[in-house]
Chain A
Amino acid sequence: MKYEAQPGALTWAINVAVTCLLLYLFERILWLVIPALLALVGYYCLKPLVQVLVRTGLKQRTAGKVVAIVLFLATCLAVIVLLSVATTRGTAWKAEAVHYLQGGLNFVRMTEASLQKRMPELKTSALVQSTPTDLNVATKQFVENYLGKLLLQAVSWLPSLLLMPYLTYALLQDGNRFKKHLIHSVPNAFFEKTLLLFNRVDGSLRSFLMGLIKLACLDTIFLGLGLWLLGISHPLLLGLMAAVLAWIPVLGSVVACLIVVIVAATDLPNDLVTTYCCILLFLCVRLLDDFVFMPLTVGRSLRIHPVLSVLMLFLGAEVAGPAGLCLVLPVLGLVAVVTEMLVQILGDEHLRKRYYHARQLERVTT
């Protein structure tokens, strides 16, 4: 049986401190971190395709180029299709959005009314009084106060998101070469262990990112199926949206649940039971996610204690806001792998002695 030394309290304290520092830095360069992460996802998804092309006789770099060009063309095509659909159906979408918002507000009002019947003291509560009754006024307020800022933010993100295909291309073409160059610069004494470290980091990153994609697919299927059975419109689209939003821990799930409830309340305005069933379905899928799917897909890659995960979520949110919430667990997982290996490499007296011996030989030769 193999025995591997577990990292101690000091190592974990260092891991947490380094993670917080990285999150602080990442928040400052979020414009680069987001496209880099998306590029990594693209790299791991497209790498098998590059390998297939290499097997047909193409060189690694040429295969990378071919796949990147296909990705670029597909992205352009998707943007063109999306823009043309948006321009032709823009007005209809706006009307639909207002319709769904109105449905959501009606649902809140109906729930309030039914609650007030049972608990009359709620009549004077702040929640009841703050619910807007006129959607047009609320929409106008939203447009005046927030829409401009939101649009400006979205536009400012466009150039950095365009980095994503370029970074994916660079990774596909030169990722392996870069890794080999980095390893080449490591002294001979630490070479094998460093190779192991690279392999573990690569494996952890791949299984985490691919795990997220698998998790999103499973969530989409189960939510879509459930919503379809309940008779809600666009079940697959809603399922996909909820699955992607679930990548943002805690907050994402709440937002996704709200959207599903709004759609359900609008589709079936007089059927409160179905809307509550949607909430129940959402809770069931979340439980399935946390206890079945997550350990099968993402969980295995991180090896972080659940209590520490929860604490780190709070710490991540405090240090770097919503971005910190999303990034804290993968960053902590990677930092843990790196420190564990660094402790093994640099703490090995045997390897250090070999390194100093090689240095001495080098001095004698020169």
Chain B
Amino acid sequence: MKLPWYFLRNSPEEERIRKLKGLGLFKELSVRELRELDELLHARSYQKDEVIFDEGDAGLGLFIVVSGRVRIVSSHAALKRLAPEFGPGDYFGELALFEESKRTGGALALEPTQVLALFRTEFFSLLERDRRIGVKILYELSRTVIARSRRLLASEAHLPTL
């Protein structure tokens, strides 16, 4: 149900919300939930060949590609072979959202790239306030993690696929 103050919306914010709605990770979120999430997202711009993060860095959050391309470079054999690339709508560094561990690979901008960063502690504060948003994001995240794990396992000849 729309509340009486619905007409008070301004366009730049609505434009941002519309773009967020178009991202796969947030597709299940309502406008109201996206508005709450928007407060926590940080927009960053990277030049071609600029390092976003390095392998071994402390993982503090996840990055969503808005425009441009990002390649993951790693010393781990499986990741090295796959050398995954991410384009608009994709996200990477998602494991940092679950635990405070070191990055298993580095991220490099292949062309001028714009990303949105979601910081772990801010995401946790959102989870405490509104679990429904958290459940929706975590469901999408776990689907991606499973899909990526399958791909990794499939690339390892001696391991069975899940």
Q: Contacting A55 at CB < 8 Å: which of B8, B32, B60, B61?
A: B32
Measured between C-beta atoms, what is the minimum distance from B33 to chain A in Å? 9
Q: What CA separation (Å) do A57 and B5 show in the bound complex?
A: 8
Complex interface: chain B residues within 8 A of A303 (CB): none
Q: What CA separation (Å) do A195 and B49 show in the bound complex?
A: 23
A130 CB–B CB distance under 8 Å: no
Task: Tell me the residues in window 189-228 of chain A with beta carbons closer than 8 Å to chain B beta carbons.
Answer: 189, 191-193, 195-196, 199
The verdict on A59 contacting B130 (CB below 8 Å), with A54-B35, A195-B119 known, is no
Is there contact, CB below 8 Å, between B50 and A357? yes
Is there contact, CB below 8 Å, between B35 and A60? yes
Interface segment out of the listed A77-85, A93-101, A115-123, A176-184: A176-184
A89 CB–B CB distance under 8 Å: no
The verdict on A62 contacting B8 (CB below 8 Å), with A55-B32, A357-B50 known, is yes
Q: What CA separation (Å) do A56 and B4 show in the bound complex?
A: 11
B13 CB–A CB distance under 8 Å: yes
Is there contact, CB below 8 Å, between A362 and B42? no
Q: What CA separation (Å) do A195 and B130 show in the bound complex?
A: 22
Complex interface: chain B residues within 8 A of A307 (CB): none
Measured between C-beta atoms, what is the minimum distance from A66 to chain B in Å? 9
Complex interface: chain B residues within 8 A of A138 (CB): none
Measured between C-beta atoms, what is the minimum distance from A348 to chain B in Å? 10
Q: Contacting B117 at CB < 8 Å: which of A191, A354, A365?
A: A191
A358 CB–B CB distance under 8 Å: yes
Is there contact, CB below 8 Å, between A350 and B54? yes
Measured between C-beta atoms, what is the minimum distance from A206 to chain B in Å? 11
A188 CB–B CB distance under 8 Å: yes
Is there contact, CB below 8 Å, between B3 and A362? no
Q: What CA separation (Å) do A193 and B121 show in the bound complex?
A: 12
The verdict on A183 contacting B42 (CB below 8 Å), with A57-B32, A195-B119, A358-B47 known, is yes
Measured between C-beta atoms, what is the minimum distance from A180 to chain B in Å? 6
Interface size classification for chain A: 20 to 34
Task: Tell me the residues in window 1-59 of chain B with beta carbons closer than 8 Å to chain A beta carbons.
Answer: 2-3, 5-6, 8-10, 13, 32, 35-36, 39, 42-44, 46-54, 57-58
Complex interface: chain B residues within 8 A of A196 (CB): 60, 119, 121
Is there contact, CB below 8 Å, between B9 and A59? yes
The verdict on A55 contacting B130 (CB below 8 Å), with A191-B117, A192-B53, A196-B60 known, is yes
Q: What CA separation (Å) do A51 and B129 show in the bound complex?
A: 8
Is there contact, CB below 8 Å, between A57 and B3? yes
B122 CB–A CB distance under 8 Å: yes
Is there contact, CB below 8 Å, between B130 and A62? no
**Residue from A54, A57, A60, A362 having most chain B Cβ neighbours under 10 A:** A57
Complex interface: chain B residues within 8 A of A55 (CB): 32, 36, 130
Q: Contacting A192 at CB < 8 Å: which of B3, B32, B61, B129?
A: B61
A147 CB–B CB distance under 8 Å: no
Complex interface: chain A residues within 8 A of B119 (CB): 192, 195-196, 199
**Residue from A56, A192, A354, A357 having most chain B Cβ neighbours under 10 A:** A192
Complex interface: chain A residues within 8 A of B10 (CB): 59
The verdict on A361 contacting B50 (CB below 8 Å), with A51-B129, A56-B3, A199-B121 known, is yes
The verdict on A358 contacting B50 (CB below 8 Å), with A51-B129, A54-B36, A191-B117 known, is yes
Measured between C-beta atoms, what is the minimum distance from A156 to chain B in Å? 39
A128 CB–B CB distance under 8 Å: no
- Give me 17 other A-B pairs in contact (C-beta within 8 A), A57-B3, A59-B35 excluded: A51-B129, A54-B36, A55-B36, A57-B6, A58-B5, A59-B9, A60-B35, A60-B39, A62-B5, A180-B42, A184-B42, A188-B44, A191-B117, A192-B119, A196-B121, A358-B47, A361-B49
> Nearest 7 pairs between A and B by C-beta?
A192-B60, A57-B3, A361-B47, A199-B121, A57-B32, A358-B50, A195-B119
- Sampled A-B contacts (18; CB under 8 Å): A57-B32, A58-B3, A59-B9, A59-B35, A60-B35, A62-B5, A183-B42, A188-B46, A192-B60, A192-B61, A192-B119, A195-B119, A196-B60, A358-B50, A358-B51, A361-B47, A361-B48, A365-B47
Binding site for B on A (CB under 8 A): 51, 54-60, 62, 176, 180, 183-184, 188-189, 191-193, 195-196, 199, 350, 354, 357-358, 361-362, 365
